[in-house]
Amino acid sequence: MQRGTCVVGYRQATKTLGEVEVPEARSQDRAELEAIAKRLRAHIVTATTAAGSGHPSSSLSMVEILTTLYFGGVLRYDPDDPHDPDRDRFILSKGHGAPGLYAVLAEAGYFPISDLESLRRLGSPLEGHPNMNRLPGVEASTGSLGQGLSIGIGHALAAEIDGKDYRVYVMVGDGESEEGQVWEAMMFAGNRGLDNLTLIIDRNRNQQTGPVDQVQPLDPLEDKLRAFGWDVRTIDGHSLDAVAEAFEWARSVTGTPQAIVANTVKGKGVALLEGGQDKWHGKPIPGDEEAKALQEIGATL
């Protein structure tokens, strides 16, 4: 098991674990990474439209982050051994973004891509929110917002206790970050100096009931994070270069946990969703708009 060769950011990062036989490098050239991002967006659209439910807009905002994590040489994982104790962990705390997580897990080889068609269907392991007991590659059952960072802290502490070098990545939403448990977890991680923990805040600035700044403003977000003992970097969450460089920066930090504030657009890539962010939370693209959305994404499945 190894990290793939990181070509976005133009530096190579590989790591082999013990005597474990490693698969081929997972990251491709820049054009291939862009193609993967397009495929993820297309999977999100087709799966949620077929299901007639789900959260496509909340999933589309995190595509470049997921692409870089799984195919840009960041995460150390093996889909043939999803419980390898030396794997890196990615926890999607904003569990309603499950269509995005399922799309990248399928592309990474955890289960057949055709299974995405079963999203939210009775008996399918691709539930409305991730269920770690039913789907390989899911590190935590999430959906009750605010809990993912606490779970990630548990993994990070376990790595310290067990003397392992795996890293833990947790993604939260900015609306989710209004939860008190998130800030309690931030305080604990900062006080403990958990430098094997990276928090990604998907800052698309919208939540179910409206713009975050109108519901519960977070600013000055970066200053608050630093005050809680975190090292912070703010990026364009849709730039593959910026995302890759941020993850490389996170791995270089010692002594403190890292927070990546990723400025994103809810519904990124689909004009219908981008133009009505406060109206499309938890709503799939209608069937008669699906072809147009796929054309805008520019993906061929």
Asked if 12 and 5 touch (Cβ cutoff 8 Å), the reply is yes
CA 105 to chain CA centroid, Å, is: 11
User: Residue 284: which domain range?
Assistant: 30-297
In a domain, 114, yes or no: yes
Q: What are the structure tokens assigned to 4, written together?
A: 């793939």
Asked if 213 and 203 touch (Cβ cutoff 8 Å), the reply is no
In a domain, 23, yes or no: no
In a domain, 3, yes or no: no
In a domain, 25, yes or no: no
Element containing residue 223 per DSSP (H, E): helix 221-227
Asked if 206 and 263 touch (Cβ cutoff 8 Å), the reply is no
Asked if 188 and 151 touch (Cβ cutoff 8 Å), the reply is no
In a domain, 9, yes or no: no
Q: What are the structure tokens assigned to 169, written together?
A: 């990545």
Asked if 56 and 45 touch (Cβ cutoff 8 Å), the reply is yes
Q: How many domains does the chain have?
A: 1
In a domain, 150, yes or no: yes
Task: Check residue 24 and give its pLDDT.
Answer: 39
Q: Which residues of 143-180 are buried (b: 16+ CB within 10 A; e: fewer)?
A: bebbbbbbbbbebbbebeeeeeebbbbbbbbbbbbbbe
| CATH for 220 | 3.40.50.970
Task: Check residue 21 and give its pLDDT.
Answer: 34
Q: What are the structure tokens assigned to 157, written together?
A: 């502490």
Q: Omega before 220 cis (within 30°)?
A: yes
Task: Check residue 23 and give its pLDDT.
Answer: 32
In a domain, 289, yes or no: yes
* One pLDDT digit (tens) per residue for the chain, 301 residues: 655 433 333 233 333 433 333 333 354 588 999 999 999 999 999 999 999 999 999 999 999 999 999 999 999 999 999 999 999 999 999 999 999 999 999 999 999 999 999 999 999 999 999 999 999 999 999 989 999 999 999 999 999 999 999 999 999 998 888 889 999 999 999 999 999 999 999 998 877 777 777 778 889 999 999 999 999 999 999 999 999 999 999 999 999 999 999 999 999 999 999 877 678 887 899 999 999 999 999 987 6
Q: For residue 260, report the phi and psi dihedrals to the nearest 5 degrees.
A: -105, 115
Task: Check residue 102 and give its pLDDT.
Answer: 98
In a domain, 201, yes or no: yes
